[in-house]
Amino acid sequence: MANAHSHDTGSHGSFKSYMIGFVLSIILTAIPFGLVMYPTFSKSATLVLVLAFAVIQVLVHLVYFLHLDRSEAQRNNVIAFVFAGIVIALLVGLALWIMFSIHTVMMAH
């Protein structure tokens, strides 16, 4: 019990993986920033691109910083994360749908 904190590096990333995640995060932040600051696409295309880069950046954070992968040990964590994502998407999507429907009905009168 003298060494309660073992130095098992199996579940932690290496310096190289953290640096890869950091560099990817910087790139995935700089590109949408540039797209917004120097508009070259339509507003809707820019919005789609920014959202796509946001999703990619979330995946980069999950893999490189939270160490979620397809290994057997992480399977329950990945399932819990996917379930939480589905619940959040349903709550937000259905709330927006309800608000849009109410707006449409209220503006018709």
pLDDT of residue 105: 87
Q: Which of 67, 83, 99 finishes a domain?
A: 67
Q: Are 16 and 64 in contact (CB under 8 A)?
A: no
What is the rounded distance in angstroms from the CA atom of residue 50 to the CA atom of residue 44?
10
Q: What is the mean pLDDT of the chain?
A: 88
Q: Is the domain of 2 the same as that of 43?
A: yes
Q: Is the domain of 5 the same as that of 45?
A: yes
What is the rounded distance in angstroms from the CA atom of residue 97 to the CA atom of residue 88?
14
Q: Is the domain of 53 the same as that of 79?
A: no
Q: Are 32 and 54 in contact (CB under 8 A)?
A: yes
Domain that holds residue 19: 1-67
pLDDT of residue 98: 95
pLDDT of residue 109: 66
Q: Is the domain of 60 the same as that of 95?
A: no
Q: Is the domain of 14 the same as that of 45?
A: yes
Rg of the chain (C-alpha set) = 20
What is the rounded distance in angstroms from the CA atom of residue 96 to the CA atom of residue 105?
14
Q: Is the domain of 84 the same as that of 56?
A: no
What does the pLDDT look like over 51-96, one tens digit per residue?
999 999 999 999 999 888 888 888 898 899 899 999 999 999 999 9
